[in-house]
Copies of this chain bind each other. A is one copy, B any other.
Amino acid sequence: MSVTAAQGFTAAGIAAGIKENGNPDLALVVNNGPRLAAAGVFTSNRVKAAPVLWSEQVLKGGQVSAVILNSGGANACTGPKGFQDTHATAEKVADTLGLNAAEVAVASTGLIGLLLPMDKLLPGVETAVGQLSEHGGEKAAIAIKTTDSVHKTAVVTKSDWTVGGMAKGAGMLAPGLATMLVVLTTDADVESDVLDRALRAATRTTFDRVDSDGCMSTNDTVLLLASGASQVTPEYGEFAEAVRAVCDDLGQQLIRDAEGASKDIKVEVVNAASEDEAVEVGRSIARNNLLKCAIHGEDPNWGRVLSAIGTTKAAFEPDQLNVAINGVWVCKNGGVGEDRDKVDMRYREVHIVADLAAGSETATIWTNDLTADYVHENSAYSS
Interface string of A6-33 (1 = CB under 8 A from B): 0000000000000000000000000000
CB of A221 within 8 A of chain B? Answer: no
Q: Are B293 and A378 in contact, CB atoms less than 8 angstroms apart?
A: yes
Question: Main secondary structure on chain A at its contact with chain B?
Answer: loop
Q: Which residues from 80 to 119 on chain A have a C-beta closer than 8 Å to any C-beta of chain B?
A: 82, 111-114
CB of A365 to closest CB in B, whole Å = 16
Pick the contact of A307 from B217, B287, B301, B311 — CB < 8 Å?
Answer: B217
Q: Are A306 and B376 in contact, CB atoms less than 8 angstroms apart?
A: no
Residues on B with C-beta less than 8 A from A371 are 375
CB of A299 within 8 A of chain B? Answer: yes
Q: CA separation between A45 and B318, bound complex, in Å?
A: 10
Residues on B with C-beta less than 8 A from A146 are none
CB of A205 within 8 A of chain B? Answer: no
Instruction: Name which residue of chain B comes closest to A372, CB basis.
Output: B372
Q: Are A383 and B301 in contact, CB atoms less than 8 angstroms apart?
A: yes
Q: CA separation between A77 and B335, bound complex, in Å?
A: 5
CB of A71 to closest CB in B, whole Å = 16
Q: Are B310 and A218 in contact, CB atoms less than 8 angstroms apart?
A: yes
CB of A208 within 8 A of chain B? Answer: no
Residues on B with C-beta less than 8 A from A375 are 293, 296, 370-372, 374-375
Instruction: Name which residue of chain B comes closest to A306, CB basis.
Output: B47
Whether A76 contacts B303 in the complex (CB less than 8 A), given A372-B376, A375-B370, comes out as yes
Whether A294 contacts B47 in the complex (CB less than 8 A), given A78-B336, A79-B334, A303-B383, comes out as no
Extra pairs beyond A172-B307, A290-B383, A294-B378 (14, CB < 8 Å): A46-B310, A46-B312, A48-B310, A77-B318, A79-B336, A82-B335, A111-B303, A214-B288, A215-B308, A218-B306, A218-B310, A293-B379, A296-B375, A299-B382
The 10 A-B pairs at the shortest CB distance, nearest first, are namely: A112-B303, A297-B379, A47-B310, A293-B378, A372-B372, A79-B335, A45-B310, A46-B310, A293-B379, A296-B379
